Amino acid sequence: MDIMVDAAPQAPAVRHQMRFEGSGGEYFKIWIVNLALSIVTLGIFSAWAKVRSKRYFYGNTYIGEHNFDYHADPIRILIGRAIAFVALLSYSLASTFAPLLAALLAIGFFFAMPWLVNAALRFNARNSSYRNIRFNFVGAYGDAFRVYIGWAFLLGLTLFTTYPLAKRARIRFNIDNHRFGGQPFNVEITGRALYSIYAIGLVIFLGFVIGATVIAGALGTIAGASVGTAAKSTGMGAFSIWHILILVLFAFIPLVLVPFVGTKVFNLAASGTTLAERFHFESSLSPLYMTWLAFSNLLLMLVTLGLFYPWARVRTTRYTSSHFAVTGDADIGSFTSELVAAQGAIGEEVANFFDVDIGF
Amino acid sequence: MQGRYFFPLSARFVDAVATVNDDHMDIATRDGTALASIAMKSVRISSRLGAIRRRLDFPDGSSFDTDDNDAVDMLLRRSGLLHRLEQSWRLVLVALVCVGVASGAFVLYGVPAVAGWLARHTPPSMTDYTGRQTLQAMDKIALKPSKLSADVQKHYRILFAAAAAAAPRGASGYRLLFRNAPLIGPNAFALPDGSVILTDQMIPLIKKDEEIEGVFAHEMSHVDRAHSLQRIYQASLVPAAIAFVTGDASQIGQLAAVLPGILLQSAYSREFEQQADDDAARQLRHMGKSPAPLADLLERLEKKLCGRKDGCGPNWLGSHPATADRAAWLRAH
């Protein structure tokens, strides 16, 4: 492969913009029909519904004139869900009737977890393709164990001060183990950059907490005064305000902080990613706009009793796609057409019994 | 039909035309150069979905994709059933009604029935454990040892024992705990293991013994009907159901689950309070007493907490039904 990469002609850099061509109305019809079928079949059809949904989003996502494809066999997903369901059921039965067995099962799950993470990532990657070339995921058990369990322990020991480093380990594990036509992805991401993102998040959070507390304190005093001496003696006037404050904080974290920080981290990781050292990815999402999307989506879903959900997904995907691009020193076409040998017989391996999509 | 032919296991493609001749599919470039000929029975054709491209996969790892969905359907001599369902607005409407009815039934009957069944089948050891854990957590966060004198405590213990003797589990099925709770204020609550906690702040509000007997009967009903366990099960059933409905565990789905979950929980909780009032009234009458003093105490409590007679906030957010309604209902029974 190296020879081929070196021998590639030096073409000017070409920027390929990603785009999403699905529509909310079209996806709504697909979603509601599949949902009704899932309910009527007591959940069995949900595996087919999942595949149709993923196919819709992959099939409408384009780079250049080509779209992505999702190939998963719903039966594999159904088997995976059945395994997960049986595992969950036997655990809850065991915890009721045989606590010792339940403890053993819990230990078993603990050690199976890294394997499950790998299996799910591999299943998704192998069933995804672009231009007739499949993706792959080659994460090893030991690495998954280190990243998902080792780092979790370390986080506890360091009182979460190493959270950005743990996040970096996960990003690296996820991206560096992905392959496209046998070619590796690679992400360069500095701990310093991640630390500064989380520092900004912390400052925003503390600012919000202090601001909200001051306002709540002021309101509490007013409410206390109007209620009169009865409320003051027990502090109840202020209590209901504190109650609301906790609810507001509870909403602030998923609605503002998670989308804001998450978007910045995504931009950083995507923009630090290369494929085969020749293609650079770039994501230029606006954290504020992503926060607005999350907030307005939630609001519209509440108003419409959840029926806005398909439009929420479509508008989010359309925005994220339109801010994602690939730049390379050659046309993707001339590059990917070199990927004949590396493709191998991956399709056959997909039929491996253990290649099932575990989890919901 | 027009499309693109991808060479075996390759991203290299040419614009091509596919035609079917008897039991074979022939692929050729636009100017007529033959590229491949494949037995029709070994061609895997993706099902029609929205307006996305159709993929024809061939056994040697080559493929053909096309935007001409209608031509592929003609070739198959049928269009996909699912696609037809997804196209027709009439069927979409049927699906919508079906989902609406199913969600409604799940919320109204499914969740209470499943949570109730799970609560009834939870072994006592689990119930006791949950009760202990909850008390420990509350003792750490909001509760302090009671400052009531031994005489006052004894007085209420005697009243409690009398109420317990008339309740389904009998005198040994419940226990009364006193706690000082400046953060919570005047209140009484039940834990799954039969513990009933009375806060010191409640005592000054009680004018007659009959009032607190009503409170005890109300809390004992919560214990008997395992309301706090049911609440735990409901709290996990509702988000799980919403995750199932939205079909993905993405952030959008998770976010969408939070607020409806809270609203539903309060609605179920109001139902529990109604049941407990109902049981309390019945038990009080059984003891030859009137539920009216409980109504008096509820109103006094409300006045103390909110300064008004008509509730602290909008009813659909509350965990309890409106006090005025509860009091009126209790007096009528």
pLDDT digits (tens, 9 = 90+) for A86-98: 877 788 777 767 7
Of B9, B201, B247, the CB nearest to A35: B247
More confident site: A348 or B113: B113
Residue A352: per-residue pLDDT:
38
Does the pLDDT at position A235 exceed 60?
no
A270 close to A315: Cβ distance less than 8 angstroms: no
- Please state which of the ranges A24-38, B108-122, B152-166 shows the lowest mean pLDDT: B108-122
What is the pTM (predicted TM-score) of this model?
0.78
Q: Looking at per-residue confidence, does B272 or A353 come out higher?
A: B272
A330 or A36, greater pLDDT: A36
Q: What pLDDT score was predicted for residue A7?
A: 43
Position B40, amino acid: M
A260-303, pLDDT tens digit by residue? 999 999 999 999 999 988 899 999 999 999 999 988 988 898 88
pLDDT of B70 above 70: yes
Contact B55 A240 (CB under 8 A): no
Across the interface, which of A27, A231, A340 has its CB nearest the CB of B10?
Answer: A340
Question: How big is the A-B interface in CB pairs under 8 Å?
Answer: 173
Partner-chain contact B99 A33, CB within 8 Å: no
Between the alpha carbon of residue B162 and those of residues A34, A39, B287, B291, the distances in Å are 57, 50, 9, 16
* Res A56: pLDDT: 96
- With beta carbons less than 8 A apart as the criterion, state whether A282 and A325 touch: yes
- The three-point CA angle B2-B6-B12 to 5° equals 120
Contact B91 A33 (CB under 8 A): yes
Instruction: Find chain B residues with C-beta within 8 A of A43's C-beta.
Output: 244
Given this model, what pLDDT does residue B318 score? 66
Q: Is ipTM over 0.90?
A: no
What pLDDT is attached to residue B236?
Answer: 75
CA-based nearest distance B285→chain A, Å: 33
- In a mutational test of the B interface, the residue from A27, A33, A69, A326 whose CB has the highest number of chain B CBs within 10 Å is A33
The confidence score (pLDDT) of residue A1 equals 35
Contacts of A276 in chain B (CB under 8 A): none
Residue A311 in this model has a pLDDT that exceeds 90: yes
pLDDT at A108: 87
CB contact under 8 A, B49 and A313: no
Residue B161 has a pLDDT of: 92
Q: Mean per-residue pLDDT for B109-114? A: 88
Nearest to A70 by CA among A137, A124, A138: A124
Q: With CB atoms and an 8 Å threshold, state whether A306 touches B11.
A: no
Percent of chain B scored above 90 by pLDDT?
30
Question: A32 to chain B: which residues are within 8 Å by CB?
Answer: 92, 95-96, 99
Residue B312: what pLDDT?
A: 55
d(C-alpha B315, C-alpha A125), whole Å: 49
The tens digit of pLDDT for each residue in B167-197 reads: 888 888 899 999 998 877 888 888 888 899 9
Position A3 scores a pLDDT of 39
Residue B313 confidence (pLDDT):
53
Type of residue at B185 = G
Helices (H), A41-98: 46-59, 74-97
Q: Give A227 or A295, the one with higher predicted confidence.
A: A295
Beta-carbon separation of B89 and A29 below 8 A: yes
Least confidently predicted of A34-43, A61-70, B192-201, B245-254: B245-254
Share of chain A above pLDDT 70, in %: 80
Domains and CATH numbers, chain B: 2-78 (2.30.29), 119-332 (no CATH)
| Separation CA A27–CA A53 (nearest Å) | 8
Output the 3-class SS for B248-307: CCCHHHHHHHHHHHHHHHHHHHHHHHHHHHHHHHHHHHHCCCCCHHHHHHHHHHHHHHHC
For B64, counting Cβ atoms within 10 Å of its Cβ (0-12 exposed, 13-18 middle, 19+ buried), the class is buried
Confidence of residue A146 (pLDDT cuts 50, 70, 90): very high
pLDDT of the residue at B252: 54
Cα–Cα distance between B92 and B145 in angstroms, integer?
60
Q: Which of B62, B255, B302, B312 to mutate to test the interface with A (most CBs of A within 10 A)?
A: B255
Contact A55 B256 (CB under 8 A): no
Within 8 A of B245 by CB-CB distance, chain A residues are 35, 306
What is the average pLDDT score of chain A?
81
The answer to whether the CB atoms of A35 and B82 lie below 8 A apart is no
pLDDT attached to residue A189: 94
The DSSP output letter for B80 is -
- Sign, CA dihedral A268-A146-A257-B261, equals positive
pLDDT score, position B43: 92
Substitution target from A73, A88, A127, A132 for chain B, most B beta carbons within 10 A = A132
pLDDT of residue B272 exceeding 70, the answer is yes
Tell me, what's the pLDDT at A164?
A: 94
> What digits encode the pLDDT tens for the residues A167-195?
999 999 999 999 988 889 999 999 999 99
